[in-house]
Homo-oligomer: A and B are copies of this chain.
Amino acid sequence: MPLPLFGLFRRLLGSDKQFRQAVATVIGQDPQNARLYQLAFTHSSVVRAEPGAGRHQSNERLEFLGDAVLGTVVAEYLFRKFPYEQEGFLTETRSRIVNRESLNAIALKLGLDKLVQLDSTQARAARSRSVNGNALEALVGAVYLDLGYKAARKFVLKGLIKPFVDVNTLTTTTSNYKSKLIEWAQRNGKNVRYEISGEPRPGGVMEFTATVLLNDEVVATGMGLNKKQAEQLAAERALAALGV
């Protein structure tokens, strides 16, 4: 796969050796094919800004692959950790681990924002979206292609889940924030209302934004891949904002 951005990376990251070292630190293993990792950190805005480059030379394809690998590793992890839980619990818990916000937070803790290449004119808008979380997924995809499934599994378990995800807390905290908020509102004589909007995302999925209003005043918003998820997150944040 030709990578016209190779030169750009050399300029931005100093030497190839420095880049390899940065990757090795993050993934806990020595990379073989550095170009895969450069691709993982190439946001589509850089590619669009580069004449003659196609969008397939951004990290979006690796993100697609890495998302699947991450989902599998976390699925197996939960399958083994919770032998008596049903499929619904496993699905729900996994989505709490690999959701946009969780991945963005982990990516920032890993310092991926320093490695991700964005077109400068789009950098600010892009930062507010899931750029870093997406790069993290792409990184998992790069490890998978470069070093194989076992290495990708090791990176996910030892480099992401173990240090950054508290699975026990995650599974014991109640998820029903919507009913909690309704109870609070009833006690306090307020009216709760949700406004929902949807936006198409790459891959044909819709991303929903829910806004919680108390007596027609905006309190919080939340995003999710379905309305329920978005509303739950918005309710959770509203409760936090209200100090409940």
Contact = CB atoms under 8 A, between A and B. Distances in A.
Interface residues of A, number: 52
Given A65-B76, A65-B79, A88 B200 contact: no
A79 B145 CA distance: 10
Nearest to A79: B65
A241 B198 contact: yes
Nearest to A73: B68
Interface string A60-75: 1101110111011001
A87 B63 contact: yes
Nearest to A66: B75
A99 B244 CA distance: 26
A111 interface: no
Interface string A37-51: 000000000000000
A67 B153 CA distance: 17
Interface in A192-221: 198-204, 206-207, 211, 218-221
Contacts of A200: 211, 218-221, 237, 241
Chain A contact residues, majority secondary structure: helix
Contacts of A87: 60-61, 63-64, 202-203
A211 B199 CA distance: 11
A88 B202 CA distance: 6
A57 to B, nearest CB: 9
7 closest cross-chain pairs (CB), A and B: A91-B203, A60-B87, A68-B72, A68-B75, A204-B237, A149-B149, A64-B87
Given A1-B83, A200-B211, A204-B237, 6 more contacts: A52-B202, A64-B91, A65-B75, A68-B68, A86-B202, A200-B218
